[in-house]
Chains A and B, each alone.
Chain A
């Protein structure tokens, strides 16, 4: 409503300004100065027209604006985007929580089964559980026995990879053997994207013979064993499991940062579970991979309305999110906005946070991912799920397009004022022309308004009647005087006494220089247009002069003037008149 008030004030001011300027520009008398005459006899017609058009267009604009406001389509999306962000974050958090819970349970089950299998294998081969990694010759057959389990885990779960990494190697003699760990890593290069039934398993790590036994193709980046040189999490999980022998497996899982395993073509997080024997010996780790691509495919937010929104999960502490170690899901130009640095967050609006680092700024909101239970050794490691969008885009979404709408309304108002001026002027022009014609008693010009043409005809007729009446009056008032001239051939015959002519000559002295120049040319027989051309004046100026000349010489029409001029010529008073 403030906007509307402002708009009305603006219009009022504009009208006042316009009227003031108009009066200033048209303040010369005897022109179509309607504003000027308004001082004498009410509001000028053009101003009336202008106000009429203004009121019409402004009313339409006000109705349009009111409709937008009343129907809540005025573009203020703040409420909408807040609701969307909260709902979407809530929904995605719930989905990820459920999916992670499933994976954790499945991983625990997978770990228990594999651990039990290893127990049995060792028992069958009379090898103590603590000595399993001292027998490299058993590693490949042992892994081979687990291949069915790992393939099954791969097929049962919505993940992009499954793995077993034993704390052992098939060849302790080779260089860097302490960091070379035997195991199997299966990759699904087709995760979730096309069809789970049609998922295709490839072999990223593990003995090639096991892959061939199971007809699994090796990936181009295949290697036989894992190199854990740069993967601290391996021993972290094993040591934590050793330190917490009584804790159930469902409390010992660990989610790694998002990283690219050596040779892996894509990054991802690993949900790891220790492989614990029946007596608490730790054989290694196992678990599932969620690749960056799978995360994107599964958790990209519903972006029909807000295309730039994306979801991240990332390790975090108080006010910092390590987005560079997390995963992103969203469709819109993600690479361009992926940050490689931690990101700090602060309050931005009552709902949203501002997330920024030296690279970029996002706006959004987050919640803590319910990842580790309170009795987990990793309970202090927090992960946040956040729904973000680039700040520039968020700002425009939050502010909506109110500014644009306001600008449009202002533009409409401004253009309606201009149009009103233009239309009122155009509409009034024939009227002002007609008024000028009436003042010069020129009733012959045709006008676009029929009513004015009727008026002209009426005035012309009335003037003729007045002339006849005037003639009769003169005749009646001077019966004894010899007529100076009696032109019976013309229809508009006039009779003038010498005193009338003398008055006429006397009145000539009252003409200004400019009027005298015009009159002199009339004496020479010029017509109005010729006079205008000769004196380089407009026809309107000549008309103005005419009106003043007629008034000063006390004649009503040009015809009457010409009669006086003829009389001057006949009586050889031409030179006197000229002087």
Chain B
């Protein structure tokens, strides 16, 4: 009788214990809110993946992912800043959000992020490319930004426009491999287009712009073995190497040909108002294969994706980009559910599906080294095929840097961007 009583008590304890589980289940599901920046053409891929998760693994495990916002990184950052500063009208922090490490670090310092190390085993983390994981590790060694898809910066070239220009002027394609060459071509192109309408002065077209002038300077100095920051994380803008970078663009901006635009360079490319630009490899889907002129004539064009330009005598270095996914610190059940979703989303099969329709790079070793080279041949979108080919080559030849991590970095880089554009604007008319 004693044994039976003990067994009954144990059963009761077990039943009571199970009710307080830290894991969701179909009978006790959790709904995770998510914000991401995979909009436009990428939204369909992401929507499909999330829907698939919700109706398969999520259904079995009692996890529902509910996307409540899709917007650009900068817009998400604005909202995240509102949350961080507890601004009036600030939205509720989502359970999962795409964010750059520079943004995430501020949340981590405020204790608002879950340390994902708690939900992944060493074996699970070993499947990911260490550099991509390390980008999301902060000062305390914890993993706060989980890699989902990575990118770098490349040079987008409207080959159709460039060929037209090169045929008439003899402009060399080789010059596109250095920033000095690009700056020089910018002046030539502006002059050439201006001369097309001799009756109208200063109506030349822009040749080049950068989506991130900050990255141009940051990577440029890295290529020369220098840093844009001192040991106290202050910008160093009075060095010869930096001045060389700055003056290269300022001098050629005087001749026209360098565009200063507050939006993405792909906007200008869509209307044929730009020949080339440096930008994230993930932006490929924003470049169509047409140019729409002001009279609504749509011209078929060809884009080439070139490796990130090098400053003369510099090393082959580019920046590693791509936001990751952060999980807000909340109840253990939700954190666990979020980690389960991340595991599924970044597994090679799902990861390859996403990158083959977006142009991002996969984050697991298997997908990056084994699946992607094979997968390249089966990609149907020529734009994505081109970008993956170029980026894969870059990963063989280039070294990559990541942006430094400190809470003021975001502000410093934004201020730099704004100030540098102001400097350039003084040299040329604004569009």
Contact = CB atoms under 8 A, between A and B. Distances in A.
A538 interface: no
A459 interface: no
A225 B296 CA distance: 8
A336 interface: yes
B267 A218 contact: yes
Nearest to B273: A208
A472 interface: no
B72 interface: yes
Nearest to A203: B267
A265 interface: yes
B70 to A, nearest CB: 6
B41 interface: yes
A316 to B, nearest CB: 26
Q: Which one of A170, A189, A297, A423 has the highest number of Cβ atoms from chain B below 10 Å of its Cβ?
A: A189
B55 A208 contact: no
Nearest to B91: A194
Contacts of A218: 263, 266-267, 270
Interface in A9-64: none
Is the interface on chain A under 10, 10 to 19, 20 to 34, or 35 or more residues? Answer: 35 or more
Contact of B79 (A198, A225, A307): A198
B69 interface: yes
Interface range for B: 35 or more
A220 B296 contact: no
A331 B68 contact: no
Given A171-B297, A215-B262, A220-B285, A265 B40 contact: yes
B39 A265 contact: yes
Contacts of A174: 296-298
A217 interface: yes
B123 to A, nearest CB: 30
Contacts of B200: none
A151 interface: no
Contacts of A194: 35, 68-69, 71, 79, 91
B75 interface: yes
Contacts of B68: 193-194, 297
Given A190-B75, A266-B43, A333 B35 contact: no
B44 A265 contact: yes
Contacts of B374: none
A536 B179 CA distance: 107
Residue among B44, B75, B264 having the largest count of chain A Cβ atoms under 10 Å: B75
Q: Name, among A169, A180, A198, A223, the residue most crowded by chain B CB atoms within 10 Å (CB to CB).
A: A198
Contacts of B66: 331
Contact of B39 (A189, A195, A215): A189
Given A190-B71, A220-B41, A224-B292, A195 B91 contact: yes
Given A208-B292, A332-B64, A220 B40 contact: yes
Nearest to B29: A307
Interface string B14-36: 00000000000000010100010
A222 interface: yes
A140 B35 CA distance: 36
A331 B64 contact: yes
A336 B59 contact: yes
A200 B71 contact: yes
Contacts of B266: 218, 220
A195 B44 contact: no
Interface in A305-336: 307, 331-336
Nearest to B261: A212
B62 to A, nearest CB: 10
A209 B272 CA distance: 12
Contact of B70 (A189, A195, A223, A426): A189
A218 B39 CA distance: 12
A198 B59 contact: no
Nearest to A300: B66
Given A218-B270, A220-B266, A221-B41, A189 B295 contact: no
A71 interface: no
Contacts of A170: 294-296
B236 interface: no
B294 A207 contact: yes
A473 interface: no
Contacts of B416: none
A333 B58 contact: yes
A428 interface: no
Contacts of A335: 51, 54-55
Contacts of A208: 267, 270-271, 292, 294
B55 A217 contact: no
Given A331-B66, A426-B1, A217 B295 contact: no
A1 interface: no
Nearest to A335: B51
Nearest to A182: B296
A70 interface: no
Contacts of A334: 54
B89 interface: yes
Contact of B90 (A195, A209, A225): A195
10 contacts: A194-B68, A194-B79, A195-B90, A220-B285, A221-B40, A222-B267, A224-B292, A265-B41, A334-B54, A335-B55
Given A180-B296, A222-B267, A335-B51, 13 more contacts: A194-B69, A198-B82, A208-B267, A217-B263, A218-B263, A224-B292, A265-B40, A293-B67, A297-B68, A333-B59, A336-B51, A336-B59, A426-B1
> Would you list the 3 A-B pairs with minimal beta carbon distance, nearest first?
A220-B40, A335-B51, A336-B55
Interface of A: 140, 169-171, 174, 180, 189-190, 193-195, 197-198, 200, 207-209, 211-212, 215, 217-225, 265-266, 293, 297, 307, 331-336, 423, 426
